[in-house]
Amino acid sequence: MLNIILFGPPGAGKGTQAQKLAEKYKLMHISTGDILRKEIADKTELGLKVKSIMDRGELVSDHILIEILQSVIERNPGVNGFIFDGFPRTVPQADALSAMLKLKGTSIAAVISLTVDDEELIKRLLNRAAELGRSDDTEEVIRRRLAVYNAQTRPLLDYYNHLGLLKETHGIGLIEEIFGKLCRLMEGLSQD
């Protein structure tokens, strides 16, 4: 398998690039944000539980996310690999992901981090808010999501760097240019 984490702050372009990479390398794209938004749209019990947390820009609890991941991985036994977008966001999630993959006899091949400075992120997220009308894209919530990222998720860069898995790419420029850089990083990876 070839399992990749696409890492970066909200607004870095993870979703767009993950979709393109999944298509090119025949990987399954798992966006935990999309999964949670669908639960909310479907008004499921889980959706009702997480809506207010997401609207505040805070993180949904680790055990909920880990359960979601477990079920997606179990329901897709035959895939070539996964591209994780928006997961893991905390150290317990990262530990759980390694354990889940180990049980399947596989592991993370690389963590590709898209770097974008805060000012550009806020600009992009405000544009996206105007286009898509996501309920967590108001300026106040955007700032909260960036603060949450810096406090709880950014430490994973060190975590994966220590494991020798981290690869960084500047996430500013044309979508196709960034995609080209990501593809060059992908070519050097080996499957397990």
Active-site residues, by number, are: 14, 89, 128, 134, 145
Distance CA 61, CA 59 (A): 6
Binding test (CB under 6 A) with ligand AMP, winner from 5, 18, 36, 96: 36
CA 87 to mean position of chain CA atoms: 4
If phi over 0 gives left and psi between -120 and 50 gives alpha, with beta otherwise, what is residue 132? alpha
Binding test (CB under 6 A) with ligand AMP, winner from 4, 59, 94, 166: 59
Residue 130 or 190 with smaller CB distance to ligand AMP: 130
Distance CA 50, CA 54 (A): 6
**Prior bond of 10 cis (ω within 30°):** no
Strand pairing report for 82-85 and 166-170:
unpaired
13 interacts with ligand AMP by CB under 6 A: no
Q: Which stretch binds ligand AMP (CB under 6 A): 21-29, 58-66, 154-162, 163-171?
A: 58-66
Q: Which amino acid is at 180?
A: G
145 interacts with ligand AMP by CB under 6 A: yes
Binding test (CB under 6 A) with ligand AMP, winner from 12, 18, 54, 116: 54
- Nearest distance in Å: CB 170, ligand AMP: 20
- Nearest distance in Å: CB 34, ligand AMP: 7
Residue 83, helix vs strand vs coil: strand
Point out which residues bind ligand AMP (CB under 6 A): 10, 32-33, 36, 53-54, 57-60, 65, 86-89, 93, 136, 145
